[in-house]
């Protein structure tokens, strides 16, 4: 059965992708970085499974800026498929830490491409690109041919990495794919992302643990989808030949306000009594008009989303209620 190597295995997407690949019979190897805490909560259920951990799921220490270790892990695992998901994934935070965001996002992708370029049998390579490469696009919806106009350090770093993937595909014949994914969410989303923050607050208010939710601009609009659908798209995109780039999106925009209303409706509360505007959370430069056209992924990969926005926010809010006991 095939072997996959995942960078960013402990993240939202890495954990769902691991489950999907294990279900499909893959042996899965993941790269983890050294941290002071050993808790890898999104994979905890897999560590507890004696049929899986260290039988079909293996972890290796490496950091994205440590080329020699990355090379050693890639050589020893010799994966058939390499999913490069690791990076600093928070767009707003990229204004606070632009240099490390670019180091981790742009240069690590180039570093891995350079390593696999030298291999006699390079793995198929998936790069987690982002809709933020479009930034402030002149056309809407965006597809694989839409020009990049990033407006954040994160978007610029992803644009560099995405174009490098195209260069290595065309120049060296590497089977390399960019998944240009629009925002995707789940109960495993990082706690400082707005959808998770809203669902968590609605649940905490319902439980009487807090009384209000502070947000910046609730009119900001995004194309939000369900993360497990997107990891399926990642896998499908690597199975397709010839390699290409794919926009993974729902094709529908919703506002932060819609997230608020759907989350508070789930817990049967009136959002007007709990929402406060806080200027500290207003983004410096906010990408606008981002909505994806997933037509190519539908046609070539048969990719479809399985649930809509309201159902996604309902599931996320219910998961928060459960977390809070
Ligand atoms: N989710 C979205 O809506 C979305 C949309 C477009 C693109 N993307 C991109 O897709 C990828 C996966 O997203 P996600 O939502 O799963 O992100 P996430 O939950 O933040 O996970 C990021 C992963 O990268 C790892 N990582 C960060 N810095 C590292 C380093 N220096 N060395 C090794 N590993 C490192 C993290 O490890 P730790 O657990 O140790 O922190 C974590 O496993 C990211 O590249 C993101 O930018 C995501």
Q: Locate the ligand 1 atom nearest the alpha carbon of residue 12 and give its number.
A: 16
pLDDT at 286 over 70: no
pLDDT at 125 over 70: yes
Q: What is the CA(272)–ligand 1 centre distance, in A?
A: 33
Total count of residues recorded for the chain:
325
pLDDT at 264 over 70: yes
Specify the pLDDT at position 217.
87
Answer whether 223's CB lies under 8 Å from 249's CB.
yes
190 CB near ligand 1 (under 6 Å): yes
Average pLDDT score over the chain: 95
87 CB near ligand 1 (under 6 Å): yes
State the residue for tokens 């059965």. Answer: 1
Average pLDDT value for residue range 80-102: 95
pLDDT at 277 over 90: no
- Integer-rounded Cα Rg, in Å, for the chain is 19
Specify the pLDDT at position 285.
62
Average pLDDT value for residue range 295-301: 98
Integer Cα distance of 264 and 30 in angstroms: 37
Which positions are catalytic? Answer: 130, 132, 154
Integer Cα distance of 93 and 153 in angstroms: 9
Q: Locate the ligand 1 atom nearest the alpha carbon of residue 40 and give its number.
A: 39
Q: How far is C-alpha 59 from the geometric centre of its chain's CA atoms?
A: 20
Q: What is the CA(128)–ligand 1 centre distance, in A?
A: 9
Specify the pLDDT at position 108.
96
63 CB near ligand 1 (under 6 Å): yes
Q: What is the CA(88)–ligand 1 centre distance, in A?
A: 6
The tens digit of pLDDT for each residue in 19-58 reads 999 999 999 999 999 988 888 999 999 999 999 999 999 9
Nearest alpha carbon, ligand 1 atom 10? 128
The tens digit of pLDDT for each residue in 211-242 reads 999 998 899 999 999 999 999 999 999 999 99
Nearest alpha carbon, ligand 1 atom 12? 85
pLDDT at 75 over 70: yes
85 CB near ligand 1 (under 6 Å): yes
pLDDT at 73 over 80: yes
pLDDT at 263 over 80: yes
Specify the pLDDT at position 274.
97
Mutate which of 5, 7, 8 for ligand 1? The one with the most ligand atoms within 8 Å of its CB, which is 8
Q: What is the CA(292)–ligand 1 centre distance, in A?
A: 21
Specify the pLDDT at position 281.
76
Answer whether 200's CB lies under 8 Å from 321's CB.
no
Average pLDDT value for residue range 182-198: 96
pLDDT at 284 over 70: no
């Amino acid at each position: 059965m095939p072997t996959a190597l995942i960078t960013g295995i402990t993240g939202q997407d890495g954990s769902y992708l691991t489950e999907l690949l294990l279900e499909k019979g893959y042996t899965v190897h993941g790269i983890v970085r050294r941290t002071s805490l050993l808790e890898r909560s999104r994979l905890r259920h897999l560590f507890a499974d004696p049929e899986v951990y260290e039988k079909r799921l293996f972890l290796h220490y490496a950091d994205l800026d440590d080329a020699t270790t990355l090379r050693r892990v890639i050589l020893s695992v010799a994966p058939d498929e390499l999913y490069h998901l690791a990076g600093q994934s928070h767009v707003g935070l990229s204004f606070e830490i632009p240099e490390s965001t670019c180091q981790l996002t742009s240069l690590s992708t180039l570093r891995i491409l350079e390593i696999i370029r030298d291999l006699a049998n390079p793995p198929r390579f998936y790069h987690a690109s982002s809709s933020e490469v479009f930034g402030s696009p002149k056309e809407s919806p965006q597809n694989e041919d839409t020009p990049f106009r990033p407006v954040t350090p994160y978007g610029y770093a992803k644009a560099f990495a995405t174009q490098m993937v195209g260069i290595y595909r065309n120049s060296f014949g590497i089977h390399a794919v960019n998944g240009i994914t629009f925002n995707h969410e789940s109960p495993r989303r990082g706690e400082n992302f707005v959808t998770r923050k809203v669902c968590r607050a609605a649940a905490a208010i319902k439980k009487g643990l807090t009384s209000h939710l502070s947000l910046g601009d609730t009119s900001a609009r995004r194309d939000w989808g369900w993360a497990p659908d997107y990891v399926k798209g990642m896998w499908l995109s690597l199975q397709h030949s010839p390699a290409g780039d794919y926009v993974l999106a729902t094709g529908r925009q919703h506002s932060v306000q819609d997230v608020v209303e759907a989350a508070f409706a789930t817990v049967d509360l009136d959002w007007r009594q709990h929402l406060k505007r806080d200027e500290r959370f207003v983004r410096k430069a906010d990408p606008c008009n981002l909505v994806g056209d997933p037509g190519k992924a539908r046609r070539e990969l048969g990719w479809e989303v399985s649930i809509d926005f309201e159902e996604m926010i309902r599931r996320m809010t219910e998961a928060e209620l459960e977390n809070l006991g």
